[in-house]
């Protein structure tokens, strides 16, 4: 999950962006932004976008067509939308460019939403049943009293009264800025990501995005009683994904750790081999057993009394250590 | 010797003669003639009254005086003279014929378009004379034709008289004339015209065909028949049942079967859906569907008429009108040129008016204006000539001049709804919405006066007026919002101006405290100063009046006084300086300097040039890094304006805003195509400033619109409006204002 931040004049607002996402930006990203801010030759928006997106928690768009594409194609990817209402550009955007992925867009809509493109993004999210009340913020230089364009078209989808003044952030208003920043800083899912940035980076870099997403899921649901079985399964799957990658990179492992189905063994044989070859120490060895055995036992005999959220929590932390071990292995054999 | 002196000399001469021989009728007659030639009609009447005193039995004096009474619209007095004329020879047929001729003679001025606002009338008396003629000889076809003519003229120019009854009476008389003399082509042609007026096109066509058969060399018959075809082509809908003309026409062209089939289809469709064909008649539908046949027929007739009488100017004018309907302006122009070349007493002014209109439609406004001016010089009493010129002024956005012409047009013909129509649009354009509403109401009333039919509510002009009123209501609402906004801006800009200094001062202090360069403070200062400049400009733009400029033009020696050259050079420096501001004008900067190295090179060069006021030094720099620049201020450069009442700073801000805009929008054009032309002209009493640049039409920079408000406000202080012209590539702003300096020196 990420934040989608859409603003056309990002080169003019580097310091605001830096302050707004201070918590999620790395030190080096902030430093680079600071340097760009000081540079008398203005940066291209794309440069700023790239820097901000290194956080992996924020996606930034400065053109309406690109923003619309993200909004309508994967709205579920975002925990928060921060959208500038006026996304009108100097050299304009082409209606055809938008129609390529949004066939219902037209000249008429172009006219209706000109200089209020953000309202169109809002309307699309409402149609896609996004919880705009809690996830959507308009940034605007105008008053919140100004009606949202195309409101009549989306009245059947939303009671606009519940989309309150709180969802409008007036540019230059420090109180509004603080409110938005507080909201940004306290997105639980993003905080989880932030706190586990190192683990997630190892998974993303060496396995894939899905495995990283599964791990976030585990982290965010590890205290949910109703999710114990699912989480144990996800822990086991993550462990399996790690070993599958290890088979590829650790020399000779493939010759020694594959079972009769030509799959990597998850149990004793593999763990012993890794121990013998000193790839894992005693602690990690024990964690391997726990992460392998406990989910398997629960899965064969799912009895709610056999496993608790504490079980899940302990295995999650075990998995974290395994991920760190895995990161080292990947660095070693990269 | 001028004509006026000549007239006075002749008049004095005659006056002396009359003093010497007060009973000599010849002198009075000569003097009356002289008065008549010089438009002194009351004096003519006085002289004829004197003549009648001298020779009370001379019946011709009564007849002549009656004509002048008619001319002065004193119809009752004219009738008294007619009565006297008749009393002197009541049994003489020529008495009645002469009266009718006299009435026709006076009204000829109306027919020729000299006085199209006034129909002099008299035909009610003429009808009675024609009755008398018929009493003398009930078998004389000519007398019936005369009465028919008088009946038809009864309604002419006077809507109160308008009635089909007169045409019906005329029809009956023409039919009687034809009965008595069935080989006279003129009776058929005149009856045809009557049929046409009554909407019976088929019968009209039949009569014209007969007239042509009897006199195939009469050009007028062809031209008049062509007018029927023209009427159809023009798309006028003449009613559901009037398709008889087509029956005649297509039976001649061999399209009769097509016509019958189409008629069946039409009826079937109408039966099924009464709103089919948008309610148009079969005639309309058919001629629209088969226009070529009709067009060719009309053209053939016009060509034939001109072939027969190549020296008749009005035939060319008629064909020109036909070409205009077809929007074939080139052909129309050739015809009207010929008409002007041939000339035609009384019509020449009208021809110039027509040609002016053609030039206007062709976009040749210079020639159009020349022609309209000429048409008014030749015929200053024709409301149409003023209307045509007003239409041109409207296209040229010269609304005040258009309004002047329209008021003259309306003075001469208060029923001219076209004039109210344009008048309302003019008022709309100059944002006088109350006047625009009033003109719309007048237009409605004029249409009401001219259309007493049951279909008045369906008159498309009325829909147009209703739409217009709605448009005004929206505009007024928007204007109220703008006024309110301007008031808020004016109040706020004053407050902000004061507040912003409380931000700038601490920032300046912080800057001094930080020994090393701190871009964050620099940027904050730049931003604060930009706000200060904007609010200052806005604040000033709401203050003062044109009198301040006159005062400062006279008191222009203070140290804050600026020359026009200073103002332009400072405006350019201001605008170019901002193009190096990567914080607030990054998008323009990147267009001018797509690479860092060019930017650094230009910036370094700018730091050396920016302090100079010498344009000779600046221009090559602008050319190298920005655009091709041409300044044409020549003799105006040294004109100075003082700043005691803020005029120097106001003019500076106005120039800054206009030039800054041009500099900004030029950025989006490829470097080789960029130009900036600044032209300051002295047109005698007016200074005209034009700033022109190439721009990219598709680029719509995000803007608050405040720049335009400031420009408009300053232009308003100068008692003018900016004229903004945007074509495909060029953006030009022109400001005109009084030459304060010239008036000062006077």
- pLDDT score for A111: 82
User: Closest partner residue to A12 among B583, B596, B668, by Cβ?
Assistant: B583
Rounded alpha-carbon distances, angstroms, from residue B577 to A261, B517, B651, B656? 74, 19, 19, 12
User: Closest partner residue to A91 among B596, B603, B698, by Cβ?
Assistant: B698
Top residue of B492, B519, B598 to mutate, by most chain A CBs within 10 Å, is B519
- Across-strand partners of A78? A2
- State whether residue B559 sits within 8 Å of chain A by CB: no
Tokens 């019976």 belong to B200
Q: What is the CA radius of gyration of chain A?
A: 24
Please identify among residues 283-312 of chain B the ones whose CB lies closer than 8 Å to any CB of chain A.
Answer: none
Q: Is A150 in contact with A113 (CB distance < 8 Å)?
A: yes
Question: Cβ contact (<8 Å) for B702 and A44?
Answer: no
Question: Cβ contact (<8 Å) for B668 and A40?
Answer: no
- State whether residue B594 sits within 8 Å of chain A by CB: no
Cβ neighbours of A86 in B, within 8 Å? 702
- State whether residue B695 sits within 8 Å of chain A by CB: no
Count of CB pairs separated by less than 8 Å, A with B: 47
User: Closest partner residue to A41 among B582, B698, B701, by Cβ?
Assistant: B582
User: Closest partner residue to A90 among B587, B589, B593, by Cβ?
Assistant: B587
Instruction: Count CB neighbours of B422 within 10 A.
Output: 23
Tokens 């009541």 belong to B90
Give pLDDT tens digits for A71-95.
Answer: 999 999 999 999 998 887 666 778 8
Coil, strand, or helix at residue B632? strand
Question: Cβ contact (<8 Å) for A41 and B699?
Answer: no
What sign for the dihedral angle of Cα B529, B534, B538, B540?
positive
Q: What is the CA radius of gyration of chain B?
A: 36
User: Closest partner residue to A88 among B587, B599, B702, by Cβ?
Assistant: B702
Top residue of A18, A91, A113, A142 to mutate, by most chain B CBs within 10 Å, is A91
Distance from CA of A14 to the nearest CA of B (A): 10
CA distance A295 to B249: 99
Phi and psi angles of residue B274, each rounded to the nearest 5 degrees, phi first: -65, -15
Top residue of A8, A36, A42 to mutate, by most chain B CBs within 10 Å, is A42
Question: Cβ contact (<8 Å) for B702 and A41?
Answer: no
User: Closest partner residue to A12 among B580, B586, B590, by Cβ?
Assistant: B586
Element (H, E) at B676: strand B675-683
> Up-side HSE of residue B308: CA atoms within 13 Å toward CB?
16
Question: Cβ contact (<8 Å) for A90 and B702?
Answer: yes
- pLDDT score for A153: 63
Cβ neighbours of B582 in A, within 8 Å? 39-42
Phi and psi angles of residue A250, each rounded to the nearest 5 degrees, phi first: -85, 120
Cβ neighbours of A10 in B, within 8 Å? none
- State whether residue A88 sits within 8 Å of chain B by CB: yes
> Up-side HSE of residue A195: CA atoms within 13 Å toward CB?
13
- Which residues have CB under 8 Å from B322's CB, separation 6+? B226, B230, B298, B299, B302
Spell out, as residue ranges, where chain B has pLDDT lower than 50.
1, 157-162, 236-243, 744-746
Q: Which residue has the higher pLDDT, A52 or A134?
A: A52
Question: Cβ contact (<8 Å) for B702 and A86?
Answer: yes
Question: Cβ contact (<8 Å) for A90 and B519?
Answer: no
- State whether residue A90 sits within 8 Å of chain B by CB: yes
Distance from CA of B295 to the nearest CA of A (A): 40
Average pLDDT over residues A140-147: 65
User: Closest partner residue to B596 among A37, A41, A115, by Cβ?
Assistant: A41
Give pLDDT tens digits for A276-315.
Answer: 999 999 999 999 999 999 988 887 776 766 788 999 999 9
Distance from CA of B630 to the nearest CA of A (A): 27
Distance from CA of B524 to the nearest CA of A (A): 11
Distance from CA of A9 to the nearest CA of B (A): 9
pTM over cut 0.90: no
What is the chain B residue with the closest CA to A40? B582
- State whether residue A19 sits within 8 Å of chain B by CB: no
- State whether residue A92 sits within 8 Å of chain B by CB: yes
Average pLDDT over residues A152-164: 63
Question: Cβ contact (<8 Å) for A92 and B586?
Answer: no
Cβ neighbours of B583 in A, within 8 Å? 12, 42
The closest alpha carbon to B100, from B77, B70, B58, belongs to B70
Cβ neighbours of B665 in A, within 8 Å? none
CA distance B726 to B695: 9
The stretches of B55-163 forming alpha helices (DSSP H) are 59-71, 75-88, 93-111, 123-136, 141-154
CA distance B471 to A78: 45
- State whether residue B701 sits within 8 Å of chain A by CB: yes
Question: Cβ contact (<8 Å) for B582 and A44?
Answer: no
Q: Is B544 left (phi over 0), alpha (psi -120 to 50) or beta?
A: left
Cβ neighbours of A11 in B, within 8 Å? 586
CA distance B207 to B189: 6
Question: Cβ contact (<8 Å) for B701 and A90?
Answer: yes
Instruction: Count CB neighbours of B717 within 10 A.
Output: 23
Q: Over pLDDT 70: what percentage of chain A?
A: 91
- Across-strand partners of A80? A3
**pLDDT band at A208; cut points 50, 70, 90:** very high
- State whether residue A35 sits within 8 Å of chain B by CB: no
- State whether residue A96 sits within 8 Å of chain B by CB: no
Question: Cβ contact (<8 Å) for B590 and A90?
Answer: no
Average pLDDT score, chain A:
88
ipTM: 0.75
Cβ neighbours of B590 in A, within 8 Å? 42, 44
The closest alpha carbon to A333, from A215, A224, A245, belongs to A245
Q: Is A273 in contact with A288 (CB distance < 8 Å)?
A: no
Question: Cβ contact (<8 Å) for A115 and B702?
Answer: yes
CA distance B242 to A302: 94
Question: How many angstroms separate the most distant Cα atoms in chain A?
Answer: 71
Domains of chain A: 2-189 (3.40.50.2300), 196-333 (1.20.120)
Q: Is B184 left (phi over 0), alpha (psi -120 to 50) or beta?
A: beta
């Amino acid at each position: 999950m990420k934040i989608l931040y859409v603003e056309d004049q990002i080169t003019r607002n580097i310091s605001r962006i830096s302050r707004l996402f201070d918590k999620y930006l790395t030190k080096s990203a902030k430093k680079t932004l600071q340097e760009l801010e000081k540079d008398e030759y203005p940066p291209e928006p794309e440069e700023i976008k790239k820097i901000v997106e290194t956080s992996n928690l924020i996606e930034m768009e400065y053109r309406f067509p690109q923003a619309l594409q993200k909004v309508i194609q994967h709205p579920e990817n975002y925990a928060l939308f921060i959208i500038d209402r006026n996304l009108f550009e100097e050299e304009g955007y082409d209606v055809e460019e938008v129609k390529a992925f949004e066939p219902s867009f037209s000249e008429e809509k172009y006219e209706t939403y000109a200089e209020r493109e953000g309202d169109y993004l809002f309307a699309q999210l409402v149609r896609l049943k996004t919880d705009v009340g809690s996830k959507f913020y308009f940034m605007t230089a105008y008053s919140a009293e100004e009606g949202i364009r195309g409101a009549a078209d989306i009245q059947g989808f939303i009671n606009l009264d519940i989309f309150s003044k709180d969802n409008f952030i007036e540019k230059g208003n420090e109180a509004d800025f603080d409110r938005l920043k507080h909201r940004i800083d306290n997105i639980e899912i993003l905080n989880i990501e932030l706190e586990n940035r190192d683990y997630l980076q190892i998974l993303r870099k060496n396995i894939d995005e899905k495995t990283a997403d599964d791990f976030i899921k585990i982290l965010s649901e590890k205290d949910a009683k109703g999710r114990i079985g699912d989480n144990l399964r996800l822990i086991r799957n993550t462990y399996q994904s790690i070993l599958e990658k290890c088979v590829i990179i650790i020399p000779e492992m493939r010759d020694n750790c594959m079972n009769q189905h030509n799959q990597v063994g998850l149990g004793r044989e593999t763990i012993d081999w890794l121990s013998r070859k000193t790839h894992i120490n005693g602690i990690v060895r024990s964690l391997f057993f726990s992460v392998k055995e406990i989910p398997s036992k629960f899965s064969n005999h799912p009895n709610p009394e056999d496993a608790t959220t504490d079980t899940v929590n302990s295995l999650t932390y075990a998995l974290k250590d395994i991920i760190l071990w895995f990161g080292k292995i990947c660095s070693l054999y990269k | 010797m001028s004509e006026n002196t000549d007239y006075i000399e002749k008049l004095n001469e005659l006056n002396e003669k009359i003093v010497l021989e007060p009973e000599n009728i010849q002198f009075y007659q000569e003097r009356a003639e002289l008065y008549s030639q010089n438009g002194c009609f009351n004096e003519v009447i006085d002289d004829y009254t004197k003549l009648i005193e001298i020779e009370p039995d001379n019946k011709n004096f009564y007849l002549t005086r009656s004509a002048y009474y008619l001319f002065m619209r004193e119809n009752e007095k004219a009738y008294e003279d007619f009565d006297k004329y008749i009393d002197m020879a009541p049994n003489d047929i020529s008495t009645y014929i002469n009266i009718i001729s006299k009435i026709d003679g006076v009204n000829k001025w109306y027919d020729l378009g000299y006085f199209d606002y006034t129909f002099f009338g008299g035909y009610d008396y003429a009808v009675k004379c024609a009755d008398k003629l018929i009493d003398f000889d009930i078998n004389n076809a000519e007398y019936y034709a005369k009465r028919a003519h008088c009946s038809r003229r009864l309604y002419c120019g006077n809507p109160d008289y308008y009635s089909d009854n007169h045409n019906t009476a005329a029809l009956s008389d023409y039919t009687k004339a034809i009965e008595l003399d069935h080989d006279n082509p003129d009776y058929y042609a005149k009856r045809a015209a009557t049929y046409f007026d009554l909407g019976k096109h088929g019968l009209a066509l039949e009569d014209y065909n007969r007239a042509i058969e009897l006199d195939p060399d009469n050009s007028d018959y062809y031209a008049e028949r062509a007018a029927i075809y023209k009427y159809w082509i023009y798309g006028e809908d003449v009613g559901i049942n009037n398709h008889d003309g087509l029956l005649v026409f297509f039976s001649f062209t061999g399209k009769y079967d097509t016509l019958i089939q189409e008629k069946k289809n039409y009826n079937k469709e109408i039966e099924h859906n009464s709103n089919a064909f948008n309610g148009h008649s079969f005639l309309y539908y058919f001629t629209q569907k088969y226009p070529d046949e009709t067009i060719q027929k009309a053209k053939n007739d016009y060509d034939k008429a001109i072939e027969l009488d190549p020296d008749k100017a009005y035939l060319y004018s008629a064909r020109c009108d036909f070409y205009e309907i077809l929007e074939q302006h080139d052909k129309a122009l050739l015809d009207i040129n010929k008409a002007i070349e041939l000339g035609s007493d009384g019509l020449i002014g009208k021809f110039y008016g027509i040609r002016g209109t053609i030039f206007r439609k062709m976009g040749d406004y210079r020639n159009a204006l020349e022609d309209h001016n000429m048409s008014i010089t030749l015929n200053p009493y024709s409301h149409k000539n003023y209307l045509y010129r007003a239409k041109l002024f409207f296209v040229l956005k010269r609304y005040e001049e258009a309004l002047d012409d329209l008021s003259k047009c309306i003075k001469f013909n208060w029923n001219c709804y076209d004039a109210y129509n344009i008048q309302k649009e003019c008022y709309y354009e100059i944002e006088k919405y109350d006047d625009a509403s009033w003109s719309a109401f007048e237009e409605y009333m004029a249409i009401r006066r001219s259309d007493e039919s049951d279909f008045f509510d369906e008159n498309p002009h009325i829909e147009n007026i209703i739409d217009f009123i709605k448009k005004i209501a929206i505009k007024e609402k928007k204007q109220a919002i703008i006024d309110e906004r301007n008031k808020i801006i004016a109040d706020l800009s004053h407050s902000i101006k004061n507040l912003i200094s409380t931000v700038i001062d601490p920032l300046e202090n912080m800057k001094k405290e930080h020994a090393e360069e701190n871009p964050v403070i620099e940027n904050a200062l730049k931003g604060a100063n930009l706000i200060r400049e904007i609010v200052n400009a806005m604040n000033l733009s709401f203050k003062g009046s044109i009198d301040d400029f006159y005062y400062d033009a006279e008191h222009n020696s203070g140290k804050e006084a600026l020359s026009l050259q200073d103002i332009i050079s400072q405006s350019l420096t201001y605008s170019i300086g901002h193009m190096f501001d990567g914080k607030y004008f990054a998008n323009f900067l990147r267009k001018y300097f797509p690479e860092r190295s060019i930017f650094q090179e230009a910036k370094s060069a700018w730091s050396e040039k920016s302090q100079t006021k010498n344009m000779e030094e600046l221009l090559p720099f602008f050319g190298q890094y920005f655009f091709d620049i041409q300044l044409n201020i020549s003799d105006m450069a040294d004109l100075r304006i003082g700043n005691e009442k803020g005029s120097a700073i106001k003019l500076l801000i106005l120039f800054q805003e206009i030039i800054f805009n041009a500099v900004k929008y030029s950025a989006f054009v490829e470097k080789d195509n960029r130009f900036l032309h600044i032209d300051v002209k002295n047109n005698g009493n007016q200074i005209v400033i034009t700033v022109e640049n190439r721009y990219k039409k598709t680029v719509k920079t995000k803007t608050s619109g405040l720049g335009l408000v400031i420009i408009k406000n300053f232009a308003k202080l100068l008692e003018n409006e900016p004229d903004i012209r945007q074509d495909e590539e060029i953006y030009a702003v022109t400001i005109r204002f009084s030459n304060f300096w010239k008036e000062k020196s006077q």
